[in-house]
Amino acid sequence: MAVNYSVPAYFILILLFISRIRSTVGKSKPSTNFPPPNLLTLDFSERIRTDPLAIESASSDYGNIVHENPAAVLHPSSPQDIVSLIKFAYNNSGTFTISARGRSHSVFGQAMAPNGVIVDMMRLRSHRENNGVIVSKNPSLGYFYADVGGEQLWIDVLKATMEHGLAPVAWTDYLYLTVGGTLSNAGISGQSFRYGPQISNVYEMDVVTGKGELVTCSPHKNSELFYAVLGGLGQFGIITRARIAIEPAPKRVKWVRMLYSDFSAFTKDQERLIAINGRRQSSALDYVEGSLLMNQGPPNNWRSSFFPSSDIPRIMSLVTQHGIIYCLEVAKYYDDSTQHSVPKELEQMYKGLSFISGFKLEKDVSFMDFLDRVRNGELKLQSQGLWDVPHPWLNLFLPKSRISDFNSGVFQDIVLKRNITTGPVLIYPMNRNNYTRRGSILHSRISAFKWIE
């Protein structure tokens, strides 16, 4: 059903995870020196690493700003190792910190456990059958789902489900993140306005709780735990399996970018586009985002080389003239049955938009290439030694009513006047109706604006 966007259903987000997100397990007792001597005598002790290499590998995160050394790192061979570790901690006479670590894409040390134990979830990948992704169909209701290990990367989930002609519907812009990691946060991208975040597309999970119990939970079974863990920032348990929604996968994507010099027109068009958002509405877009183009060199950056080289001079001329250009980015998925209707639907959509005449650029790419579009930029920066640098990323949620104030107060009066032009700025339009109402704090937030340096 289309949403009447006169209702405050549109938010801008910038996610800033500045709190320390660690699972502190153990009873409320005086702390003792760690590690307890008997930790290394347990049945799984051969998988507990205390050597300098293991410690150093778990002492930083993607933000590369905070550095904390754990006392030990667990290389689990099964979820039972995680159960045993947390149960030991819960029954131990002292307390210590345990943190699950996937790709460690936190920004301010949330994946660390100073003087505690890091659980290296990625080690489970080599111990899973069927590559940690099992595709099934509910015989009574007829829908497909995938049972996925919490340590699995979304790119591997995509590849495994695509072998069956299926794919998840909810994504992050970057796919080399673990399933457990994004479900512990929210899992947000340009698809979220229509399909909701990843936490709204989960049927069931296996979770290791702070008492060391492996519990299966769903909306109908242990529901309090289910809704607490989704978006719970790792504070309510460690996800070892998630049953996620999957649907028939499209084959290709019409990928379009349109440029604006007027922020009000830009946001008005974003609202217009996300108002058509039904999962079964053929006219709805599949992806809507936005970004700023500023005087920071050519408009192509590490995240995307979308713009043809022949168009860059005239785009840069626009940026020079206006200082900031707002880029509206949309995508429409299609397959063999819809390849002829999609261009007509897009043309009809363009008629109601207010982008600068002559500045609508289109690409046609495979579904896989579109979803994995950030990877090439990452590999390029890695080859240049520019990936492992500090990443002071800022993220916020803003209501529709304050978008214009944010543009004038931040984009115009700070960014433009002070010439702060390093790093991409992403703007996500969101639809509150597609967010789960129950659960942890992130369920009540709507995502949309990301500032990246």
Per-residue pLDDT tens digits for 310-331:
899 999 999 999 999 999 999 9
Amino acid in position 222: N
Residues 6+ apart with CB under 8 A from 442: 185, 186, 197, 199, 231, 232, 233
Q: What is the pLDDT of residues 269-301, one digit of tens each?
A: 999 999 888 888 888 999 999 999 988 766 776
Weakly modelled stretches of the chain, pLDDT under 50: 1-33, 440-453
Tokens of 50: 């205390």
Task: Note if the pTM is more than 0.85.
Answer: yes
pLDDT digits (tens, 9 = 90+) for 196-251: 999 999 999 999 999 999 999 999 999 999 999 999 999 999 999 999 999 999 99
Return the pLDDT at 353.
Answer: 96
Phi-psi region of 296 (alpha: psi -120 to 50; beta: other; left: phi over 0): alpha
- Taking the C-alpha atoms of residue 291 and residue 411, their distance in angstroms, rounded to an integer, is 12
- The answer to whether 346 touches 255, Cβ cutoff 8 Å, is no
Q: Catalytic residue among 147, 289, 329, 443, which?
A: 289
Residue 384 has a pLDDT of 86
Based on the residue annotation, tell me whether 204 is a catalytic residue of this protein: no
Annotation says 105 is catalytic? yes
Q: Which of 68, 151, 173, 286 is catalytic?
A: 173
pLDDT of residue 297: 66
Give residue 266's pLDDT: 96
Distance CA 329, CA 318 (A): 17
From the candidates 105, 151, 156, 329, give the one annotated as an active-site residue: 105
pLDDT value, residue 420: 78
- Determine the pLDDT at residue 128: 84
pLDDT of residue 319: 93
Q: Residue 75 catalytic?
A: no
Q: Are 115 and 96 in contact (CB under 8 A)?
A: yes
